[in-house]
Amino acid sequence: MKFTEYAKTYIPNINNTIGMILDKKLQNINITFLKTYYEEIKTYLLVGGKRIRPLLCIAAYNAFSNERDDKIITPSVGVEFLHNASLVHDDIIDKDNFRRGNPAFHYRFQLYHNNYSLKKMNQSDFGNSIGIIGGDTIFFLGLEPFLFNNFDRNLNLGAIKYYEQAFIDIADGVLIETDMVNRKNLQMKDYIEMISLKTGALLEKSILIGANYANTDDDYYPILSTLGINLGIIFQIIDDILGTFGDEKVTGKPTDGDIREGKRTCLLIEAMNSLDVKKRDQLVNLISNSRITDENVEEVKNLFMEADVINSCKKLATDYYQEVVHALEKLTPVIHDSEKEFFENLLKFVLERKF
C-alpha cells in the first residue's frame, strides 16, 4: 500500500485515539484554567502533523502480525505525544512563536496572559512557564497508550523501554547539536551520529515498538533499526538542502535561517571539508559572525555552490537510501507486501520531496 493510502486509512483513528486520551482527562476537571490548559493541549496535538511516527509503528506491527486488527492503534500514538512534547520545548528554546502556521504552545499562553489583572509575572515568562509544564505533561500523557490497551503487560513494558530510550536519544542528539557550534573540526560522521539520534531515533523506536507488539523475532531488529535511522538521516539531509536551497514558496520556510543560526548542516560540513584553507576560513568567519548581513548569507551560499554541496549531500542521502532498500530486501518475504510497499514508498517520498 502506498504511503498516502496508508495515511488515509489510519489517520482518522489515530486522531480519535489522541482525542480520547485528552477527553478522559478533561472529563474530571472543573477548574476553568485547567480545562483551558488541557483543551489547548488537545488542540495542539490534533491540529496538523503528518502522523509519520504512529504510521511507522502501525506498519511495523502489520508487517509482522498475522492478525490484522486495530488494537495497535492505541499504543501507536505514544510516539506522537513524545514528538509533540519535544516540539513544545524546542519552540521555547528556539523562541519560535509559530509552528505549522499556528501559534506555538507557549505562545498561546502568552496571549492568554492578557486575561490576568494581577501581573506578578510578565507575559513572556508566563507563556514559557506554562510551555515547560505543558511539554512535560505531554511527555507523561504519552505513557498512557502503553498503560491502557489490549496487549499483554509484558509487551507494554517492552514498549515503555523504547519510549524512554527514544527520548534519551533525542536529548543526546539535541545536546550534541548545541555543542557543535563550539567545535572547529567537524566530520561528516559526527553529523550523521547527531542526526541519527536527534531525528532517526524516534522513527526507529516507532518501528521497534510496532515490531515489539507483533512479537517479532529478535533477528529482524537490526534491520528495522537501520530502516528507522536511515529514514531519519535521509529526511534530515534533504531538510538541510531545502532549508537553504529550497523554494520558499513550496517549503514555507525562509532560506537564510540555518545560515544565520550558524547551524551545523551537512551543507556546511561538506563545504568545510572540500574548500581550500583560505575559503574555509572565510566561511568560518561568515557563519561565526553574530550580526550576519543579507550579503553575508549570499556569500555563504556562493561558497556552498562552489563546493558543489547540493550534489554531494544528495549523493550521501542516496547512499543511505540504497543501504536501507537493500536491508528491506532481507525482510522479503517475511513481511507482508503491502507494508514493504509502504516503507519503500515512504523512503522514496522522503528522498525526493521538495517541501
Binding site for a copy of itself (CB under 8 A): 25, 31-34, 37, 89, 92-93, 95, 115-120, 125-126, 128-130, 132-133, 135-137, 139-141, 143-144, 147, 153-154, 156-157, 160-161, 163-164, 167-168, 171-172, 174-176, 178-179, 181-182, 261-262, 288, 290
Of 34 and 47, which CB lies nearer to a copy of itself in the complex structure?
34
CB of 133 vs a copy of itself, minimal distance in Å = 5
Of 169 and 239, which CB lies nearer to a copy of itself in the complex structure?
169
Alpha helix ranges (H) inside the chain: 3-27, 32-46, 52-64, 73-76, 78-93, 105-112, 123-141, 144-147, 153-180, 188-195, 201-213, 221-245, 248-251, 257-261, 266-274, 277-288, 294-306, 309-330, 337-352
CB of 116 vs a copy of itself, minimal distance in Å = 5
Of 126 and 321, which CB lies nearer to a copy of itself in the complex structure?
126
CB of 148 vs a copy of itself, minimal distance in Å = 9
Scan for cell 535511522, then name that residue: 229
**Residue 289's CB: how many other CB atoms inside 10 A?**
12
CB of 178 vs a copy of itself, minimal distance in Å = 7
Of 66 and 117, which CB lies nearer to a copy of itself in the complex structure?
117
Angle at alpha carbon of residue 153, lines to 74 and 62, rounded to 5°: 45
Q: Which helix (H) or strand (E) holds 102?
A: strand 102-103
CB of 156 vs a copy of itself, minimal distance in Å = 6
Of 37 and 235, which CB lies nearer to a copy of itself in the complex structure?
37
CB of 61 vs a copy of itself, minimal distance in Å = 20
331, 309, 307, 321: which is closest to 353 by C-alpha?
321
Of 200 and 317, which CB lies nearer to a copy of itself in the complex structure?
200
Distance between CA atoms of 353 and 339, rounded to whole angstroms?
A: 21
- Contact between 229 and 196 under an 8 Å Cβ cutoff? The reply is yes
Of 165 and 312, which CB lies nearer to a copy of itself in the complex structure?
165
96, 202, 69: which is closest to 142 by C-alpha?
202
Distance between CA atoms of 209 and 188, rounded to whole angstroms?
A: 29
CB of 136 vs a copy of itself, minimal distance in Å = 6
- Contact between 190 and 265 under an 8 Å Cβ cutoff? The reply is no
- Contact between 138 and 70 under an 8 Å Cβ cutoff? The reply is no
- Contact between 79 and 210 under an 8 Å Cβ cutoff? The reply is no
Measured in degrees and rounded to the nearest 5, phi and psi for residue 83 equal -60, -50
Of 111 and 250, which CB lies nearer to a copy of itself in the complex structure?
111
CB of 276 vs a copy of itself, minimal distance in Å = 22
Give the total residue count for the chain. Answer: 355
Of 118 and 277, which CB lies nearer to a copy of itself in the complex structure?
118
CB of 41 vs a copy of itself, minimal distance in Å = 11
